[in-house]
Structure 1
Protein backbone atom coordinates (compact mmCIF):
# COMPACT_ATOMS: atom_id res chain seq x y z
CA UNK A 1 0.00 0.00 0.00
CA UNK A 2 1.20 3.49 -0.82
CA UNK A 3 0.88 6.38 1.63
CA UNK A 4 1.27 10.14 1.17
CA UNK A 5 2.35 12.22 4.19
CA UNK A 6 2.34 16.02 3.74
CA UNK A 7 5.44 17.82 5.03
CA UNK A 8 4.50 21.47 4.48
CA UNK A 9 5.36 24.14 1.95
CA UNK A 10 8.61 24.07 0.01
CA UNK A 11 10.99 26.73 1.35
CA UNK A 12 12.60 27.13 -2.06
CA UNK A 13 9.90 26.66 -4.75
CA UNK A 14 6.96 29.04 -4.45
CA UNK A 15 3.55 27.39 -4.56
CA UNK A 16 4.89 23.86 -4.05
CA UNK A 17 4.30 21.54 -1.13
CA UNK A 18 6.51 18.73 0.10
CA UNK A 19 5.29 15.20 0.84
CA UNK A 20 6.79 11.87 1.74
CA UNK A 21 5.30 9.24 -0.56
CA UNK A 22 5.70 5.68 0.66
CA UNK A 23 5.55 3.39 -2.34
CA UNK A 24 4.14 -0.12 -2.57
CA UNK A 25 7.71 -1.49 -2.51
CA UNK A 26 8.34 0.13 0.90
CA UNK A 27 10.60 2.93 -0.38
CA UNK A 28 9.71 6.50 0.57
CA UNK A 29 10.42 9.31 -1.87
CA UNK A 30 10.44 12.99 -0.97
CA UNK A 31 8.30 14.75 -3.58
CA UNK A 32 7.56 18.43 -4.22
CA UNK A 33 4.28 19.10 -6.06
CA UNK A 34 2.48 22.14 -7.36
CA UNK A 35 -0.03 23.29 -9.94
CA UNK A 36 -2.97 21.70 -11.70
CA UNK A 37 -3.46 20.23 -15.15
CA UNK A 38 -1.80 17.43 -17.11
CA UNK A 39 0.83 15.71 -14.94
CA UNK A 40 4.47 16.56 -15.61
CA UNK A 41 7.06 14.51 -13.71
CA UNK A 42 10.64 15.80 -13.58
CA UNK A 43 13.71 13.90 -12.32
CA UNK A 44 16.94 15.61 -11.31
CA UNK A 45 20.47 14.33 -11.77
CA UNK A 46 23.68 13.97 -9.76
CA UNK A 47 24.69 15.68 -7.52
CA UNK A 48 21.46 17.68 -7.18
CA UNK A 49 18.00 17.00 -5.78
CA UNK A 50 14.54 18.19 -6.88
CA UNK A 51 15.58 21.82 -6.31
CA UNK A 52 17.38 21.63 -9.66
CA UNK A 53 14.00 22.54 -11.23
CA UNK A 54 13.38 25.57 -8.97
CA UNK A 55 13.80 28.17 -11.72
CA UNK A 56 11.15 26.74 -14.04
CA UNK A 57 8.75 24.76 -11.82
CA UNK A 58 6.55 27.72 -10.77
CA UNK A 59 5.95 28.75 -14.39
CA UNK A 60 5.21 25.18 -15.44
CA UNK A 61 2.78 24.85 -12.52
CA UNK A 62 0.60 27.48 -14.14
CA UNK A 63 -0.28 24.91 -16.81
CA UNK A 64 0.64 21.48 -15.41
CA UNK A 65 0.54 19.43 -12.25
CA UNK A 66 4.28 19.40 -11.65
CA UNK A 67 5.78 16.47 -9.71
CA UNK A 68 9.40 16.73 -8.52
CA UNK A 69 10.72 13.63 -6.72
CA UNK A 70 14.12 13.11 -5.17
CA UNK A 71 15.49 9.91 -6.68
CA UNK A 72 16.08 7.00 -4.32
CA UNK A 73 19.47 7.53 -2.74
CA UNK A 74 19.36 11.28 -3.30
CA UNK A 75 18.08 14.32 -1.44
CA UNK A 76 15.61 13.42 1.29
CA UNK A 77 14.38 10.18 -0.28
CA UNK A 78 15.15 6.77 1.21
CA UNK A 79 18.58 5.28 0.66
CA UNK A 80 18.01 1.52 0.60
CA UNK A 81 20.92 -0.86 1.23
CA UNK A 82 22.63 -2.41 -1.74
CA UNK A 83 24.87 -5.41 -2.37
CA UNK A 84 27.60 -6.57 -4.73
CA UNK A 85 25.18 -6.75 -7.68
CA UNK A 86 24.21 -3.05 -7.27
CA UNK A 87 20.68 -4.01 -8.34
CA UNK A 88 19.09 -1.72 -5.73
CA UNK A 89 20.44 1.27 -7.67
CA UNK A 90 19.97 -0.11 -11.15
CA UNK A 91 17.98 2.13 -13.44
CA UNK A 92 15.40 -0.65 -13.71
CA UNK A 93 14.70 -0.53 -9.96
CA UNK A 94 14.85 3.26 -9.84
CA UNK A 95 12.40 3.39 -12.76
CA UNK A 96 10.12 1.02 -10.89
CA UNK A 97 10.05 3.58 -8.05
CA UNK A 98 8.77 6.19 -10.48
CA UNK A 99 6.20 3.82 -11.93
CA UNK A 100 4.95 3.13 -8.41
CA UNK A 101 4.93 6.86 -7.65
CA UNK A 102 2.72 7.45 -10.69
CA UNK A 103 0.34 4.82 -9.34
CA UNK A 104 0.49 6.21 -5.80
CA UNK A 105 -0.62 9.59 -7.14
CA UNK A 106 -3.55 7.93 -8.95
CA UNK A 107 -2.21 8.88 -12.36
CA UNK A 108 -2.24 6.85 -15.55
CA UNK A 109 0.31 8.68 -17.72
CA UNK A 110 2.72 11.55 -17.26
CA UNK A 111 4.88 13.77 -19.41
CA UNK A 112 8.45 13.10 -18.33
CA UNK A 113 11.52 15.33 -18.07
CA UNK A 114 14.82 13.98 -16.80
CA UNK A 115 18.29 15.45 -16.43
CA UNK A 116 21.52 13.49 -16.12
CA UNK A 117 20.87 10.43 -13.86
CA UNK A 118 17.17 11.27 -13.89
CA UNK A 119 17.18 11.00 -17.68
CA UNK A 120 18.87 7.60 -17.48
CA UNK A 121 16.11 6.48 -15.13
CA UNK A 122 13.69 7.92 -17.68
CA UNK A 123 15.24 5.86 -20.47
CA UNK A 124 14.58 2.67 -18.52
CA UNK A 125 11.13 3.92 -17.50
CA UNK A 126 10.26 4.43 -21.17
CA UNK A 127 11.34 0.88 -22.02
CA UNK A 128 9.77 -0.91 -19.06
CA UNK A 129 6.57 1.15 -18.64
CA UNK A 130 5.83 2.74 -22.03
CA UNK A 131 2.12 2.95 -21.26
CA UNK A 132 2.82 5.43 -18.44
CA UNK A 133 4.61 8.07 -20.52
CA UNK A 134 2.98 10.47 -22.96
CA UNK A 135 6.32 12.02 -23.96
CA UNK A 136 9.93 12.23 -22.81
CA UNK A 137 12.53 14.98 -22.51
CA UNK A 138 16.13 13.94 -21.78
CA UNK A 139 18.54 16.68 -20.79
CA UNK A 140 22.27 16.53 -21.55
CA UNK A 141 22.84 12.82 -21.91
CA UNK A 142 23.81 10.31 -24.54
CA UNK A 143 22.92 6.65 -23.87
CA UNK A 144 25.02 5.12 -21.09
CA UNK A 145 26.25 2.18 -23.17
CA UNK A 146 27.22 4.51 -26.01
CA UNK A 147 29.24 6.78 -23.74
CA UNK A 148 31.14 3.86 -22.23
CA UNK A 149 31.73 2.28 -25.66
CA UNK A 150 33.17 5.53 -27.04
CA UNK A 151 35.35 6.30 -24.03
CA UNK A 152 38.54 8.12 -24.91
CA UNK A 153 41.00 10.35 -23.06
CA UNK A 154 38.82 13.45 -23.44
CA UNK A 155 35.75 11.77 -22.00
CA UNK A 156 37.63 10.01 -19.19
CA UNK A 157 39.27 13.31 -18.21
CA UNK A 158 36.09 15.41 -18.29
CA UNK A 159 33.84 12.76 -16.70
CA UNK A 160 36.40 11.28 -14.33
CA UNK A 161 33.70 10.48 -11.72
CA UNK A 162 32.24 7.85 -14.07
CA UNK A 163 35.41 5.88 -13.37
CA UNK A 164 36.14 7.09 -9.83
CA UNK A 165 32.71 6.43 -8.29
CA UNK A 166 32.57 2.86 -9.63
CA UNK A 167 35.67 1.79 -7.73
CA UNK A 168 35.00 -0.82 -5.04
CA UNK A 169 33.65 0.23 -1.65
CA UNK A 170 34.92 2.00 0.43
CA UNK A 171 37.48 3.91 -1.65
CA UNK A 172 35.34 6.63 -3.27
CA UNK A 173 33.02 6.85 -0.26
CA UNK A 174 35.97 7.47 2.06
CA UNK A 175 37.67 10.04 -0.13
CA UNK A 176 34.48 12.03 -0.81
CA UNK A 177 33.42 11.76 2.83
CA UNK A 178 36.68 13.41 3.91
CA UNK A 179 35.57 16.71 2.25
CA UNK A 180 32.12 16.51 0.60
CA UNK A 181 31.98 20.29 0.10
CA UNK A 182 35.17 20.29 -1.96
CA UNK A 183 34.01 17.42 -4.16
CA UNK A 184 30.55 18.91 -4.64
CA UNK A 185 31.86 22.40 -5.42
CA UNK A 186 34.40 21.14 -7.93
CA UNK A 187 31.84 18.87 -9.54
CA UNK A 188 29.18 21.55 -10.00
CA UNK A 189 31.66 24.26 -11.05
CA UNK A 190 33.18 21.91 -13.60
CA UNK A 191 29.87 20.87 -15.10
CA UNK A 192 27.98 24.17 -15.23
CA UNK A 193 29.46 26.81 -17.53
CA UNK A 194 27.36 29.75 -16.29
CA UNK A 195 28.79 31.47 -13.19
CA UNK A 196 26.22 31.94 -10.45
CA UNK A 197 23.74 29.47 -11.93
CA UNK A 198 23.64 27.61 -8.60
CA UNK A 199 22.80 30.12 -5.88
CA UNK A 200 24.66 29.68 -2.60
CA UNK A 201 21.48 28.81 -0.68
CA UNK A 202 20.74 26.05 -3.20
CA UNK A 203 24.32 24.78 -3.13
CA UNK A 204 24.04 24.58 0.64
CA UNK A 205 20.95 22.39 0.36
CA UNK A 206 22.68 20.14 -2.14
CA UNK A 207 25.58 19.97 0.33
CA UNK A 208 23.26 19.25 3.26
CA UNK A 209 22.19 16.11 1.45
CA UNK A 210 25.65 15.26 0.12
CA UNK A 211 27.13 15.27 3.61
CA UNK A 212 25.00 12.23 4.41
CA UNK A 213 27.25 9.18 4.22
CA UNK A 214 24.30 7.08 3.07
CA UNK A 215 23.80 9.38 0.10
CA UNK A 216 27.49 9.25 -0.83
CA UNK A 217 27.28 5.46 -0.84
CA UNK A 218 24.02 5.53 -2.82
CA UNK A 219 25.60 7.80 -5.43
CA UNK A 220 28.50 5.38 -5.81
CA UNK A 221 26.07 2.48 -6.11
CA UNK A 222 24.13 4.39 -8.78
CA UNK A 223 27.29 4.73 -10.86
CA UNK A 224 28.45 1.18 -10.12
CA UNK A 225 25.11 -0.08 -11.38
CA UNK A 226 25.49 2.04 -14.52
CA UNK A 227 28.82 0.38 -15.29
CA UNK A 228 27.58 -3.18 -14.68
CA UNK A 229 23.99 -4.34 -14.32
CA UNK A 230 22.51 -1.43 -16.28
CA UNK A 231 24.66 -2.35 -19.27
CA UNK A 232 23.44 -5.94 -19.00
CA UNK A 233 19.80 -4.79 -18.90
CA UNK A 234 20.37 -2.50 -21.89
CA UNK A 235 22.02 -5.26 -23.90
CA UNK A 236 19.11 -7.62 -23.23
CA UNK A 237 16.68 -4.95 -24.44
CA UNK A 238 18.70 -3.79 -27.42
CA UNK A 239 15.75 -4.42 -29.73
CA UNK A 240 13.39 -2.16 -27.74
CA UNK A 241 12.71 1.44 -28.73
CA UNK A 242 11.29 4.43 -26.86
CA UNK A 243 7.79 4.76 -28.27
CA UNK A 244 6.87 8.16 -26.83
CA UNK A 245 7.95 11.35 -28.62
CA UNK A 246 11.43 12.27 -27.38
CA UNK A 247 13.00 15.72 -27.09
CA UNK A 248 16.73 15.96 -26.45
CA UNK A 249 18.17 19.18 -25.02
CA UNK A 250 21.84 19.63 -24.20
CA UNK A 251 24.43 22.27 -23.44
CA UNK A 252 26.70 23.10 -26.34
CA UNK A 253 29.49 24.07 -23.91
CA UNK A 254 29.32 20.78 -22.02
CA UNK A 255 31.01 17.42 -22.45
CA UNK A 256 28.02 15.68 -24.02
CA UNK A 257 27.46 18.44 -26.54
CA UNK A 258 31.13 18.72 -27.46
CA UNK A 259 31.97 15.02 -27.72
CA UNK A 260 28.83 13.54 -29.33
CA UNK A 261 26.27 14.09 -32.04
CA UNK A 262 23.57 13.83 -29.41
CA UNK A 263 20.58 13.14 -31.66
CA UNK A 264 22.48 10.46 -33.58
CA UNK A 265 23.41 8.64 -30.36
CA UNK A 266 19.68 8.13 -29.76
CA UNK A 267 18.74 7.30 -33.35
CA UNK A 268 18.48 3.54 -32.76
CA UNK A 269 16.95 3.98 -29.27
CA UNK A 270 13.74 5.87 -30.08
CA UNK A 271 11.25 6.18 -32.94
CA UNK A 272 10.40 9.88 -32.77
CA UNK A 273 13.29 12.22 -31.92
CA UNK A 274 14.00 15.92 -32.05
CA UNK A 275 16.72 17.88 -30.33
CA UNK A 276 18.44 21.21 -29.78
CA UNK A 277 21.66 22.52 -28.25
CA UNK A 278 21.47 25.39 -25.78
CA UNK A 279 24.20 27.98 -25.00
CA UNK A 280 25.32 26.57 -21.64
CA UNK A 281 26.94 23.66 -19.88
CA UNK A 282 25.48 20.53 -18.30
CA UNK A 283 22.37 22.01 -16.61
CA UNK A 284 20.35 24.15 -19.07
CA UNK A 285 17.41 24.43 -16.67
CA UNK A 286 19.70 26.07 -14.12
CA UNK A 287 21.96 28.01 -16.52
CA UNK A 288 19.60 29.31 -19.23
CA UNK A 289 16.29 28.65 -17.55
CA UNK A 290 14.10 30.93 -19.69
CA UNK A 291 15.43 29.50 -22.94
CA UNK A 292 15.10 25.97 -21.60
CA UNK A 293 11.55 26.67 -20.50
CA UNK A 294 10.55 27.99 -23.93
CA UNK A 295 11.98 24.91 -25.66
CA UNK A 296 10.25 22.60 -23.20
CA UNK A 297 6.87 24.32 -23.41
CA UNK A 298 6.96 24.36 -27.21
CA UNK A 299 7.54 20.60 -27.22
CA UNK A 300 4.88 19.88 -24.61
CA UNK A 301 2.34 22.02 -26.47
CA UNK A 302 3.04 20.03 -29.63
CA UNK A 303 2.61 16.55 -28.15
CA UNK A 304 0.08 16.82 -25.32
Structure 2
Protein backbone atom coordinates (compact mmCIF):
# COMPACT_ATOMS: atom_id res chain seq x y z
CA UNK A 1 0.00 0.00 0.00
CA UNK A 2 1.42 3.42 -0.95
CA UNK A 3 1.49 6.38 1.45
CA UNK A 4 -1.63 8.06 0.07
CA UNK A 5 -3.70 4.87 0.23
CA UNK A 6 -2.57 4.35 3.80
CA UNK A 7 -3.68 7.86 4.72
CA UNK A 8 -7.00 7.53 2.85
CA UNK A 9 -8.02 3.90 3.42
CA UNK A 10 -11.06 2.78 1.49
CA UNK A 11 -10.66 5.49 -1.15
CA UNK A 12 -10.01 4.79 -4.81
CA UNK A 13 -7.06 6.93 -5.90
CA UNK A 14 -7.49 8.05 -9.48
CA UNK A 15 -5.97 10.37 -12.05
CA UNK A 16 -8.82 11.89 -14.02
CA UNK A 17 -8.64 13.73 -17.33
CA UNK A 18 -10.23 17.11 -16.66
CA UNK A 19 -9.64 18.47 -20.15
CA UNK A 20 -6.86 21.01 -19.70
CA UNK A 21 -5.08 19.00 -17.00
CA UNK A 22 -5.18 15.66 -15.23
CA UNK A 23 -6.36 15.84 -11.61
CA UNK A 24 -5.57 13.36 -8.84
CA UNK A 25 -8.59 12.48 -6.73
CA UNK A 26 -9.56 10.11 -3.95
CA UNK A 27 -13.13 8.81 -4.35
CA UNK A 28 -15.35 6.77 -2.05
CA UNK A 29 -18.93 6.35 -0.92
CA UNK A 30 -22.45 6.38 -2.27
CA UNK A 31 -25.03 9.10 -2.12
CA UNK A 32 -25.05 12.86 -2.80
CA UNK A 33 -21.66 14.07 -4.10
CA UNK A 34 -19.35 16.32 -2.08
CA UNK A 35 -16.16 17.77 -3.53
CA UNK A 36 -13.36 18.55 -1.04
CA UNK A 37 -10.67 21.07 -2.03
CA UNK A 38 -7.52 21.61 0.04
CA UNK A 39 -5.35 24.67 0.57
CA UNK A 40 -1.66 25.58 0.68
CA UNK A 41 0.68 23.93 1.58
CA UNK A 42 -1.45 20.79 1.81
CA UNK A 43 -2.86 18.28 -0.66
CA UNK A 44 -6.05 16.19 -0.61
CA UNK A 45 -4.51 14.44 2.42
CA UNK A 46 -5.77 17.35 4.55
CA UNK A 47 -9.19 15.63 4.44
CA UNK A 48 -7.99 12.30 5.87
CA UNK A 49 -9.81 12.86 9.20
CA UNK A 50 -12.99 14.25 7.63
CA UNK A 51 -13.63 12.34 4.40
CA UNK A 52 -14.30 8.91 6.00
CA UNK A 53 -16.96 10.40 8.27
CA UNK A 54 -18.71 12.00 5.29
CA UNK A 55 -18.69 8.65 3.51
CA UNK A 56 -20.10 6.93 6.62
CA UNK A 57 -22.85 9.56 6.72
CA UNK A 58 -24.03 8.58 3.24
CA UNK A 59 -22.17 10.83 0.81
CA UNK A 60 -20.01 10.23 -2.22
CA UNK A 61 -16.77 12.03 -1.41
CA UNK A 62 -14.30 13.30 -3.98
CA UNK A 63 -11.15 14.77 -2.44
CA UNK A 64 -9.03 16.33 -5.19
CA UNK A 65 -5.63 17.92 -5.60
CA UNK A 66 -5.85 21.38 -7.13
CA UNK A 67 -3.87 21.88 -10.31
CA UNK A 68 -0.24 22.48 -9.38
CA UNK A 69 -0.55 20.66 -6.06
CA UNK A 70 -0.08 17.08 -4.97
CA UNK A 71 0.00 14.76 -7.96
CA UNK A 72 -2.23 16.84 -10.22
CA UNK A 73 -0.72 18.30 -13.40
CA UNK A 74 1.40 21.44 -13.07
CA UNK A 75 1.13 23.80 -16.03
CA UNK A 76 3.77 26.50 -16.41
CA UNK A 77 1.72 29.58 -15.49
CA UNK A 78 1.18 31.45 -18.73
CA UNK A 79 0.59 35.15 -19.42
CA UNK A 80 -0.82 36.99 -16.39
CA UNK A 81 -0.50 33.71 -14.45
CA UNK A 82 -3.75 32.64 -16.10
CA UNK A 83 -3.00 28.94 -15.69
CA UNK A 84 -3.45 29.45 -11.94
CA UNK A 85 -6.38 31.85 -11.95
CA UNK A 86 -9.10 30.58 -9.66
CA UNK A 87 -11.30 30.56 -12.76
CA UNK A 88 -9.03 27.97 -14.41
CA UNK A 89 -8.66 25.97 -11.19
CA UNK A 90 -12.43 25.93 -10.68
CA UNK A 91 -12.97 24.80 -14.27
CA UNK A 92 -10.73 21.80 -13.61
CA UNK A 93 -12.78 20.68 -10.66
CA UNK A 94 -16.13 21.07 -12.41
CA UNK A 95 -14.74 18.98 -15.29
CA UNK A 96 -13.45 16.39 -12.81
CA UNK A 97 -16.89 16.04 -11.21
CA UNK A 98 -18.62 15.78 -14.58
CA UNK A 99 -16.15 13.11 -15.66
CA UNK A 100 -17.08 11.20 -12.49
CA UNK A 101 -20.77 11.55 -13.35
CA UNK A 102 -21.77 14.49 -11.13
CA UNK A 103 -23.24 17.60 -12.74
CA UNK A 104 -24.32 19.16 -9.44
CA UNK A 105 -22.64 18.80 -6.07
CA UNK A 106 -21.69 20.40 -2.79
CA UNK A 107 -18.16 21.79 -2.51
CA UNK A 108 -16.08 22.30 0.63
CA UNK A 109 -12.95 24.40 0.22
CA UNK A 110 -10.25 25.13 2.76
CA UNK A 111 -7.82 28.02 2.26
CA UNK A 112 -6.88 28.15 -1.47
CA UNK A 113 -9.55 25.54 -2.12
CA UNK A 114 -12.11 27.91 -0.64
CA UNK A 115 -11.05 30.61 -3.09
CA UNK A 116 -11.41 28.15 -5.96
CA UNK A 117 -14.83 27.15 -4.62
CA UNK A 118 -15.94 30.80 -4.38
CA UNK A 119 -15.02 31.38 -8.02
CA UNK A 120 -16.70 28.09 -8.97
CA UNK A 121 -19.96 29.19 -7.36
CA UNK A 122 -19.88 32.42 -9.40
CA UNK A 123 -18.83 30.88 -12.72
CA UNK A 124 -20.76 27.59 -12.47
CA UNK A 125 -23.88 28.23 -10.36
CA UNK A 126 -25.62 25.33 -12.08
CA UNK A 127 -23.01 22.95 -10.65
CA UNK A 128 -22.66 24.19 -7.07
CA UNK A 129 -25.53 23.07 -4.85
CA UNK A 130 -23.99 24.18 -1.55
CA UNK A 131 -20.72 25.89 -0.68
CA UNK A 132 -18.55 25.64 2.44
CA UNK A 133 -15.59 28.02 2.75
CA UNK A 134 -13.07 27.27 5.49
CA UNK A 135 -10.96 29.88 7.29
CA UNK A 136 -10.99 32.52 4.59
CA UNK A 137 -12.52 35.88 3.89
CA UNK A 138 -12.94 36.84 0.20
CA UNK A 139 -9.61 37.45 -1.53
CA UNK A 140 -10.38 40.98 -2.73
CA UNK A 141 -11.61 41.91 0.74
CA UNK A 142 -8.48 40.63 2.44
CA UNK A 143 -6.17 42.52 0.09
CA UNK A 144 -8.24 45.71 0.32
CA UNK A 145 -8.20 45.64 4.13
CA UNK A 146 -4.56 44.60 4.59
CA UNK A 147 -2.79 46.21 7.51
CA UNK A 148 0.58 45.71 9.18
CA UNK A 149 -0.70 42.96 11.49
CA UNK A 150 -2.14 40.91 8.64
CA UNK A 151 0.88 41.44 6.38
CA UNK A 152 3.17 40.28 9.17
CA UNK A 153 1.21 37.15 10.08
CA UNK A 154 0.35 36.20 6.45
CA UNK A 155 3.71 37.24 5.01
CA UNK A 156 3.60 34.55 2.30
CA UNK A 157 0.77 36.44 0.56
CA UNK A 158 3.40 39.03 -0.27
CA UNK A 159 6.50 36.82 -0.50
CA UNK A 160 5.14 34.21 -2.92
CA UNK A 161 3.89 36.84 -5.39
CA UNK A 162 7.39 38.22 -6.00
CA UNK A 163 8.61 37.81 -9.60
CA UNK A 164 10.01 34.48 -10.79
CA UNK A 165 12.28 33.04 -9.59
CA UNK A 166 13.00 34.73 -6.26
CA UNK A 167 10.55 32.82 -4.01
CA UNK A 168 11.02 29.58 -5.97
CA UNK A 169 14.78 29.71 -5.48
CA UNK A 170 14.58 30.64 -1.79
CA UNK A 171 12.03 27.94 -0.90
CA UNK A 172 13.82 25.41 -3.08
CA UNK A 173 17.00 25.82 -1.06
CA UNK A 174 15.33 24.09 1.93
CA UNK A 175 11.69 23.15 1.19
CA UNK A 176 11.39 20.99 4.30
CA UNK A 177 12.28 23.91 6.56
CA UNK A 178 9.82 26.25 4.83
CA UNK A 179 7.04 23.67 4.87
CA UNK A 180 7.56 22.76 8.52
CA UNK A 181 7.62 26.38 9.64
CA UNK A 182 4.59 27.23 7.51
CA UNK A 183 2.47 24.40 8.90
CA UNK A 184 3.54 25.17 12.47
CA UNK A 185 2.62 28.82 12.02
CA UNK A 186 -0.86 27.96 10.75
CA UNK A 187 -1.84 25.48 13.45
CA UNK A 188 -2.82 26.14 17.05
CA UNK A 189 -3.02 22.40 17.82
CA UNK A 190 0.27 20.55 18.35
CA UNK A 191 0.29 17.13 16.71
CA UNK A 192 -2.54 17.94 14.28
CA UNK A 193 -0.31 16.85 11.40
CA UNK A 194 0.99 13.35 12.04
CA UNK A 195 4.46 12.40 10.74
CA UNK A 196 2.92 10.28 7.98
CA UNK A 197 0.83 13.19 6.70
CA UNK A 198 3.77 15.57 6.90
CA UNK A 199 5.90 13.12 4.93
CA UNK A 200 3.28 13.07 2.16
CA UNK A 201 3.06 16.85 2.10
CA UNK A 202 6.84 17.05 1.95
CA UNK A 203 7.08 14.52 -0.89
CA UNK A 204 4.95 16.83 -3.00
CA UNK A 205 6.54 20.05 -1.75
CA UNK A 206 10.02 18.91 -2.75
CA UNK A 207 9.02 18.97 -6.42
CA UNK A 208 10.30 22.26 -7.92
CA UNK A 209 7.27 22.27 -10.22
CA UNK A 210 4.99 22.30 -7.17
CA UNK A 211 6.87 25.21 -5.61
CA UNK A 212 6.55 27.15 -8.87
CA UNK A 213 2.85 26.31 -9.15
CA UNK A 214 2.22 27.52 -5.60
CA UNK A 215 3.92 30.82 -6.38
CA UNK A 216 1.85 31.12 -9.57
CA UNK A 217 -1.32 30.43 -7.56
CA UNK A 218 -0.52 33.36 -5.26
CA UNK A 219 0.63 35.60 -8.11
CA UNK A 220 -2.69 34.98 -9.83
CA UNK A 221 -4.53 35.79 -6.60
CA UNK A 222 -2.81 39.18 -6.42
CA UNK A 223 -3.36 39.89 -10.12
CA UNK A 224 -5.76 38.25 -12.56
CA UNK A 225 -8.05 36.97 -9.80
CA UNK A 226 -8.57 40.53 -8.58
CA UNK A 227 -9.42 41.55 -12.15
CA UNK A 228 -12.03 38.79 -12.30
CA UNK A 229 -13.34 39.74 -8.85
CA UNK A 230 -13.67 43.39 -9.85
CA UNK A 231 -15.66 42.41 -12.93
CA UNK A 232 -18.01 40.43 -10.65
CA UNK A 233 -18.10 42.98 -7.83
CA UNK A 234 -21.90 43.13 -7.87
CA UNK A 235 -22.41 39.38 -8.36
CA UNK A 236 -23.57 37.28 -5.42
CA UNK A 237 -23.22 33.57 -4.76
CA UNK A 238 -26.73 32.14 -4.96
CA UNK A 239 -25.98 28.73 -3.43
CA UNK A 240 -26.31 28.47 0.36
CA UNK A 241 -22.92 29.26 1.88
CA UNK A 242 -21.45 28.07 5.17
CA UNK A 243 -18.35 29.83 6.51
CA UNK A 244 -16.31 28.02 9.16
CA UNK A 245 -13.13 29.40 10.65
CA UNK A 246 -10.64 28.89 13.44
CA UNK A 247 -11.25 31.14 16.42
CA UNK A 248 -7.51 31.09 17.14
CA UNK A 249 -6.43 31.86 13.57
CA UNK A 250 -5.54 35.06 11.77
CA UNK A 251 -8.72 35.24 9.69
CA UNK A 252 -11.00 34.81 12.69
CA UNK A 253 -9.06 37.38 14.69
CA UNK A 254 -8.72 39.92 11.87
CA UNK A 255 -12.09 39.93 10.11
CA UNK A 256 -15.81 39.80 10.70
CA UNK A 257 -15.90 36.59 8.68
CA UNK A 258 -19.68 36.31 8.36
CA UNK A 259 -19.90 40.00 7.50
CA UNK A 260 -17.39 39.65 4.66
CA UNK A 261 -19.27 36.72 3.15
CA UNK A 262 -22.64 38.45 3.46
CA UNK A 263 -21.19 41.03 1.10
CA UNK A 264 -20.62 38.23 -1.46
CA UNK A 265 -23.47 35.72 -1.03
CA UNK A 266 -27.23 35.73 -0.51
CA UNK A 267 -27.62 32.94 2.07
CA UNK A 268 -24.80 32.83 4.63
CA UNK A 269 -24.40 30.96 7.90
CA UNK A 270 -21.30 30.08 9.86
CA UNK A 271 -19.39 29.71 13.08
CA UNK A 272 -15.95 29.77 14.64
CA UNK A 273 -14.38 26.50 15.76
CA UNK A 274 -11.84 26.01 18.58
CA UNK A 275 -8.67 25.82 16.50
CA UNK A 276 -6.25 27.68 14.28
CA UNK A 277 -6.15 27.84 10.49
CA UNK A 278 -5.83 24.11 9.76
CA UNK A 279 -9.46 23.44 10.67
CA UNK A 280 -9.92 19.98 9.06
CA UNK A 281 -6.79 18.71 10.81
CA UNK A 282 -7.15 20.50 14.15
CA UNK A 283 -10.88 20.14 14.80
CA UNK A 284 -12.12 17.37 12.48
CA UNK A 285 -15.01 16.32 14.73
CA UNK A 286 -16.72 19.70 15.21
CA UNK A 287 -15.89 20.62 11.64
CA UNK A 288 -17.47 17.50 10.16
CA UNK A 289 -20.53 17.88 12.40
CA UNK A 290 -21.03 21.44 11.15
CA UNK A 291 -20.60 20.42 7.50
CA UNK A 292 -23.05 17.52 7.84
CA UNK A 293 -25.66 19.73 9.50
CA UNK A 294 -25.32 22.21 6.63
CA UNK A 295 -25.49 19.54 3.93
CA UNK A 296 -28.65 18.15 5.50
CA UNK A 297 -30.29 21.53 6.00
CA UNK A 298 -33.66 21.63 4.35
CA UNK A 299 -33.59 17.92 3.49
CA UNK A 300 -36.34 15.65 4.78
Same fold, TM exceeding 0.5?
yes
CA contact (8 A) 2:187 2:277 kept: yes
In the alignment, the residues of structure 1 paired with residue 274 and residue 52 of structure 2 have an alpha-carbon distance, to the nearest angstrom, of: 23
Counterpart pick for 1:52 among 46, 64, 71: 46
Q: Flag structure 1 segments of 5+ consecutive residues without an equivalent.
A: 1-6
Counterpart pick for 1:72 among 62, 67, 70: 67
Could you say which residue in structure 2 is the equivalent of 1:3? none
Q: Flag structure 2 segments of 5+ consecutive residues without an equivalent.
A: none
When normalised by structure 2's length, the TM-score is 0.97
Could you say which residue in structure 1 is the equivalent of 2:25? 31
Deviations 1:28-62 (CA, angstroms, capped at 9, x unpaired): 00000011100010000000000000001111112
Could you say which residue in structure 2 is the equivalent of 1:182? 177
Give, in angstroms, the shift of residue 106 of structure 1.
Answer: 1.6
Counterpart pick for 2:194 among 194, 199, 208: 199
In the alignment, the residues of structure 1 paired with residue 166 and residue 284 of structure 2 have an alpha-carbon distance, to the nearest angstrom, of: 36
Could you say which residue in structure 1 is the equivalent of 2:9? 14
CA contact (8 A) 1:192 1:280 kept: yes
Give, in angstroms, the shift of residue 288 of structure 1.
Answer: 1.0
Counterpart pick for 2:124 among 129, 132, 141: 129
Could you say which residue in structure 1 is the equivalent of 2:78? 83
Give, in angstroms, the shift of residue 9 of structure 1.
Answer: 8.1
In the alignment, the residues of structure 2 paired with residue 195 and residue 234 of structure 1 have an alpha-carbon distance, to the nearest angstrom, of: 36
Counterpart pick for 1:268 among 247, 263, 286: 263
CA contact (8 A) 1:9 1:15 kept: no
CA contact (8 A) 2:5 2:11 kept: yes
Let me know the Cα RMSD of the aligned residues: 1.3
When normalised by structure 1's length, the TM-score is 0.96
In the alignment, the residues of structure 2 paired with residue 133 and residue 92 of structure 1 have an alpha-carbon distance, to the nearest angstrom, of: 14
Could you say which residue in structure 2 is the equivalent of 1:218? 213
CA contact (8 A) 2:18 2:93 kept: no
In the alignment, the residues of structure 2 paired with residue 39 and residue 101 of structure 1 have an alpha-carbon distance, to the nearest angstrom, of: 12
Counterpart pick for 2:249 among 239, 249, 254: 254
In the alignment, the residues of structure 2 paired with residue 228 and residue 184 of structure 1 have an alpha-carbon distance, to the nearest angstrom, of: 24
CA contact (8 A) 2:80 2:224 kept: yes
